[in-house]
Chains A and B, each alone.
Chain A
Amino acid sequence: MSGSVSSGKKAQSAHAYTPGLRVSPLSRVWKIRRLPLPGEVLVNKDDKVSYDTIVARTNMPGDIRVVSAAAILGVEPEELPIYMKKKVGDPVKKDEIIAMYKAFFGLLKSEIKSPVDGYIEHISEVTGQVIIREPPIPVEVDAYIPGIVTESIEKEGVRIDCAATFIEGIFGIGGERHGAVYVAVDSPDDELTVDMVSSKWKDKIVIGGSYASAEVMKKAMSVGAKGLVVGGMDFKDFSDFLGYEIGVAITGREDIPMTVIITEGFGKMRMAKKTFDLLKQNEGELACIDGATQIRAGVIRPEVIIPKLDVDPLSLPEEAEIYVGGMQPGTKVRVIRAPYFGALAKVVSLPVELQKVETESPVRVVEIELQDGKRVIVPRANVELFEW
């Protein structure tokens, strides 16, 4: 489901670029909740909805079954209609006879029973196949976030807006989940360990610090945690947890009862203090989380949304998801590649000339000052804007 968030930054120039991960204490968050096929929208514009309100519903065409009827009856395909007991469009029940062939006064008899409930969709005189369509499959879409319906899209779905604390992660697995925020560590540097997992985690969105192992994930899931949000985890542990290796970063449909989100990257990585503090401030509040991640063609990042129902979302500015302008001396950034991966820094200068880095590649660089005061040069592609 598509959605967005705005935090009130203004467009400054035509050179738009992708911003760093967004972490905002209060933003207007909106979600388009759309049906996969046209159907019925169940709520109206300006309605208030809860996260579990069903907002739209439709029926997906049922599965189909192909029966090689002519071959089973031992007749030519073009003769098939003669032996059919049902016509196209007729409803059928499982095990009901749909075709029958009799010869020699009934001494030779073969018949075909429907393998499923459904209706006859197609009888082919070329291939001798009969296609039976199963009953439609109902599909419902819920609101996912509590808020106000700001737009109703005829037969397709709705847009829902809410005011919320919004935290974007870098990678996740598992789909949409809801639960109260529970911070299980004292500081963003702390690791989540197996002995910390307790029954208190049941139904919670558990917040860790810098690291959690596959064992922690497994145990958290076994006690019924709804979500796990930490700074970093080993990539290998995701495979160990899921039981298969992830090849391409398109996630969110894993068949697991708990959603896992990392906020910084793979490996042991301290959760950004701002992110950690925001989660801490919201301890006990309802969080709507989604692990869905897609890096290519329409970037989707995992998210933690903590709705603020006492704030009218319409009182917050609505703007496009474009962070524009650029880096300037003083701009706060985060380094996103070795050798300073995860470091927070401020831009010192932006040299115009390409410079050679250790690899000997001439690249566009930025000079940054790390938090310990050390000044270093890194490729401009290796930093992202990040408020800290």
Chain B
Amino acid sequence: MGSSYDLSKIDVEKMQVALATDVGSTTTKARFFKKIDGHWRFICAGEAPTTVEKPFEDVTMGLRNAIREVEELTGHKLLKPDGSGLIIPYQGNNVGVDLYVSTSSAGGGLQMMVAGVVKTMTAESAERAALGAGAIVMDVMAIDDGRPPYKKIERMRFLRPDMILLAGGTDGGTVKHVVEIAELIKAAEPRPRFGLGYKLPIVYAGNKNAREHIKNILGEKFTLTIVDNIRPVLEVEIVEPARNAIHRLFMEHVMAHAPGYHKLTEWVMAPVMPTPAGEGMMFRTIARMWKINVLGVGLGGATTNVYSVYEGKFVRTVSANLGMSYSICNVLKEAGVENIMRWLPFKMSERELRNRLANKMIRPTTLPQTLDDLMVEHAVAREAIRMGFEHHKLLARGLRGVQRKRTIADIFEQSMEEETYIDMMNVHFVGGTGGLLSHTPRRQQAALILIDAFQVKGVTRLMCDSIFMMPHLGVMSTVHPKAAMEIFERDCIVKLGTAIALDGHSKSSGPAVKVTAHMPDGSTVEKVVNYGEIASIPLSADQTAKIVIEPSSDFDVGTGKGKKREAEVWGGAGGIIIDARGRPLHLPEDFETRREMLLKWFRALDAYPESILSKEKI
């Protein structure tokens, strides 16, 4: 099974037409690209309901529908007359396609259980590897996770993972503990989600000395794949072999048991990737091409994926139950009603808010029609991203268990190794994707959501996905990175502006910062912003400006308190957004004071129509 195309024999430079699809849990999305005047461009999109479930049980039906929509919109023939695949390669005269790739998250994506010996060491490394491969991690088991063996077994029997990643021990170290976990897995016999007669795949990435024992214990009942140890020594984490094995097994086992996928794997020219892996691939490409630190968020209906590429380290996390539709009530549950309400400039009863979110949960495809409904969704989005990022920071941290030489300074900062290595001051770029962020009626709304949720500091460029295209470009970049990046820059990225955010607080409400912008037309714009306020200098998406930031002595923009900083910034719907509200951002508890502040911020960016801002109660 699998693709019959040998990409090494295909000259990507000669490609003219490309198609990428994403088979999502509810919608299958096709994106059609063409090389025009030597440049790759996005041409159009086609969408149709996913057909992985009964009564269809064949993903290619939904795929054909989505691709047919592209055909209808462009007049370009893509499907073979009998519908058995795509016409490859491009035949000229608007027939055929040179490249076809796909991602998939249908049926809830790739769901994994990971296990290791020590929770904060090998189990954490295994978790990072599985997440980086695009999986949803259902549970992390470890010898020291505080659960007695029978509880672990009970949990394993309850879960129905698609795959297990087992790590544990350094090479040459004791084998006992990792074998103990393997014995528990064998005894629990976790059953896969799909198919009664299907052997659950297990990837073993632990102590190499335990391999024979692992084979004896798990070899018969499971499909066992052995790869290099994820932590060969404590000081090193190597996730690539485990991640690659997960991708391969996802194709060969998990997808092979999903209805109609065998056809899809024959249609595509490169391996099908889990959707978040495609999205992550694109954020990595941005970081690599522009040589910057990147933070990204995929805010979906069911999950929130957060990606960071920080000083070359890539980490992805998924908060499986934080989302804008299916799991919107879980955002409410986790964040608490007050944390959502704090972003609303009007009063709404708690009961009403809960009912609105619950109605969105049970009718996930509906859209906000009223402005108050829109603002409620934006409030939830801020909290979902905030919590997703909190979760991310727990994994984006240095390797633990490593012996380090401690200096006097380290002793004073005892929590250092517990904390994330992501310093918001050094994050140069924040990108958002997903229906809500891509479809904000005013782009300034998306900019504010990202600023508030991530609490950016210093100078940060902001962007969002024009239409959901990042996973498509990610998988495309595995075959043709140049085309993917060209389309990303020209048609995918929507520049929202650049945020200049001050770190710190002040006792005075007076001037906090002066920003001088040297505009592209040669003029100079000067703006002084008071503490607690936001202001904007208009700068369009196709423009850049050189700026000089002069914070007052209470604030830091990345060069130290009160120190001047110069930067080159890009524009966008929000222009140059000067955020002098201070960090961490505080919202007053008293409704009237808070409302006054929120209104000031929203008005400063012209983020919402006056008709809703003037309403005090809904």
Contact = CB atoms under 8 A, between A and B. Distances in A.
A384 B189 CA distance: 43
A356 B354 CA distance: 27
Interface stretch (A80-88, A120-128, A283-291): A120-128
A156 B197 CA distance: 12
Contact of A246 (B183, B329, B441): B329
B362 A66 contact: no
Interface string A288-332: 000001011111000000000000000000001110000000000
B321 A16 contact: no
A17 B48 CA distance: 8
Nearest to A236: B354
A297 to B, nearest CB: 5
Contacts of A359: 368-371, 373-374, 441
A382 interface: yes
Interface in A248-306: 248-249, 265-267, 293, 295-299
A70 to B, nearest CB: 10
Contact of A293 (B68, B107, B359, B362): B362
Given A4-B54, A321-B54, A234 B326 contact: no
A266 B358 contact: yes
Contacts of A8: none
A352 interface: no
Given A38-B196, A321-B55, A15 B357 contact: no
Nearest to A67: B149
B186 A122 contact: yes
Contacts of B327: 247-248
Contacts of A353: none
Given A248-B326, A295-B361, A296-B302, A361 B367 contact: yes
A154 to B, nearest CB: 11
Nearest to B180: A127
A361 B65 contact: no
Nearest to B352: A267
Nearest to B330: A247
B25 interface: yes
Nearest to B197: A38
B370 A266 contact: no
Point out which of B65, B183, B188 has the most chain A C-beta atoms below 10 A from its C-beta: B183
Contact of A18 (B49, B188, B351, B439): B49
A336 B365 CA distance: 10
B150 A64 contact: yes
Interface in B416-448: 439, 441-442
B489 interface: no
Nearest to B611: A358
Nearest to B153: A64
Contact of B442 (A64, A234, A360): A360
Interface in B42-69: 48-49, 51, 53-56, 65, 68
Contacts of A249: 326, 329, 361-362
Interface residues of A, number: 64
B379 to A, nearest CB: 14
A65 B150 CA distance: 6
Interface in A223-249: 234-236, 245-249
Given A64-B188, A66-B150, A379-B369, A235 B25 contact: no
> Size class of B's contact patch?
35 or more
Given A14-B65, A234-B355, A338-B356, A64 B187 contact: yes
A37 B160 CA distance: 13
Contacts of B359: 265-267, 336-337, 341
B108 interface: yes
Contacts of A17: 49
Contacts of A127: 176-177, 179-180, 183
B435 to A, nearest CB: 11
A359 B373 CA distance: 9
Contacts of B442: 360
A293 B361 CA distance: 11
B54 A297 contact: no
B398 interface: no
A77 B49 contact: no
A20 to B, nearest CB: 10
Contacts of A320: 55
Contacts of B177: 127
Interface string A112-155: 00000000011010111101010000000000000000000000
Contact of A236 (B154, B183, B351, B373): B351
A2 B54 CA distance: 9
Contacts of A321: 54-55
B54 to A, nearest CB: 7
Interface string A348-388: 00000000111111010000000000000011011010000
A383 B459 CA distance: 44
A171 B442 CA distance: 34
Nearest to A379: B367
A18 B357 CA distance: 21
B199 to A, nearest CB: 15
A249 B355 CA distance: 14
B176 A337 contact: no
B354 A382 contact: no
B333 interface: yes
Contact of B184 (A66, A77, A267, A381): A66
Contacts of B407: none
Contact of B362 (A18, A265, A338, A341): A265
B367 A381 contact: yes
Contact of B369 (A2, A298, A357): A357
B334 interface: yes
A139 B556 CA distance: 65
A16 B49 contact: yes
Contacts of B108: 296-297
A129 B355 contact: no
B175 interface: yes
A295 B360 CA distance: 11
B173 interface: no
Interface in B149-183: 149-150, 153-154, 175-177, 179-180, 183
Contact of B187 (A131, A234, A295): A131
A63 interface: yes
A299 B48 CA distance: 17
Nearest to B177: A127
Interface in B558-596: none
A295 B358 contact: no
Contacts of A295: 326, 361-362, 364
A158 B343 CA distance: 52
B366 A336 contact: yes
Interface string B178-216: 011001101111000000100000000000000001000
Contact of B183 (A2, A122, A170): A122
A358 B333 contact: no
Contact of A336 (B26, B175, B363): B363
Nearest to A296: B326
A339 B373 CA distance: 9
Interface string A60-97: 01011110000000000100000000000000000000
Interface of B: 25-26, 48-49, 51, 53-56, 65, 68, 106-108, 149-150, 153-154, 175-177, 179-180, 183-184, 186-189, 196, 213, 302, 321, 326-327, 329-330, 332-334, 350-352, 354-359, 361-371, 373-374, 439, 441-442, 609
Nearest first, the 6 A-B pairs at minimum CB distance are A247-B330, A235-B358, A360-B441, A66-B149, A266-B355, A337-B366
22 contacts: A16-B49, A37-B196, A63-B150, A63-B154, A66-B150, A131-B183, A234-B354, A236-B354, A247-B330, A247-B333, A247-B334, A296-B326, A336-B363, A337-B363, A338-B370, A341-B359, A359-B373, A360-B442, A361-B368, A378-B369, A379-B369, A382-B367
Given A63-B154, A265-B362, A296-B302, 11 more contacts: A2-B54, A63-B153, A171-B362, A247-B321, A336-B359, A337-B363, A358-B369, A358-B370, A358-B371, A359-B369, A379-B366
